[in-house]
Amino acid sequence: MEQLLNDFSVGLFFWQTILFVVLLFLLRKFAWKPILNAVNEREDSIKSALDSAEDAKREMAKLKSTNEDLLNEARGERDAMLKDARDMKDKIVAEAKVTANEQADRIVAEARESIQHEKMAAITELKNQVAILSIEIAEKILKEELSSADKQKTIIDNVVKDINLN
C-alpha cells in the first residue's frame, strides 16, 4: 500500500478521472440507454406474455367449467330421454297387455257362445232324431197292433174306458 502512495500522480489521476467520466458519459449516451431499453422491452414482453398466459389460464378455466356445465346438461338430457323412453316402453307394454287381455277375453267369450250355440244345435238335432225315431217306432208298433180287427176293437174299448174314467 505504501508503494501505491509513492507512485501516486495527481496528473495521471486527473486524466484517468476525466477519461472515466467521458467513458461513463459515452456509455450512458450510447450503450446504457439501448441496453436499458432492451431490458425494459424484454421485461414488458415477459410481463405481457405472463398476462397472456394468465388470461389463457382463466379462459381455459372458464372453458373447462363451461364444458362441465355442457356435459352435465347433456347427461341430464340423456337421463331424461332414457326415462321418457322407459316410460313410453312401459306404457306401450301395458297397452299391449290390456289389448291382448281384451282380445283373449273376447275370443274366450266368442268361443263359449259358439260352444253354447253348437250345444243347442246338437241338442235340437238329437231331439229331432229322437222324435223321428219315436214316430217310426210308434208307427211300426201301431201298424203291427192295428193289423188285425180284434186288436183294433180291444184298443178302442180300452181308450173308451179310460175316457169314461177320467
The per-residue pLDDT for range 100-111, each reduced to its tens digit, is 999 999 999 999
Residue 75 CB partners (closer than 8 Å, separation 6+): none
The per-residue pLDDT for range 6-20, each reduced to its tens digit, is 777 888 889 999 999
Contact 146, 155 (CB under 8 A): yes
Residue 151 CB partners (closer than 8 Å, separation 6+): 145
Whole-number pLDDT of residue 85:
94
- Average pLDDT over the chain reads 88
Indicate if the pLDDT at residue 137 is higher than 70. Answer: yes
Identity of the amino acid at 20: F
Whole-number pLDDT of residue 142:
74
Indicate if the pLDDT at residue 166 is higher than 70. Answer: no
Indicate if the pLDDT at residue 156 is higher than 80. Answer: no
Q: CB 145: neighbour CB atoms within 10 A?
A: 13
Q: Is the pTM of this model over 0.75?
A: no
The per-residue pLDDT for range 78-117, each reduced to its tens digit, is 999 999 999 999 999 999 999 999 999 999 999 999 999 9
Kindly list the domain boundaries of the chain, sorted by start residue.
Answer: 2-165
Whole-number pLDDT of residue 165:
58
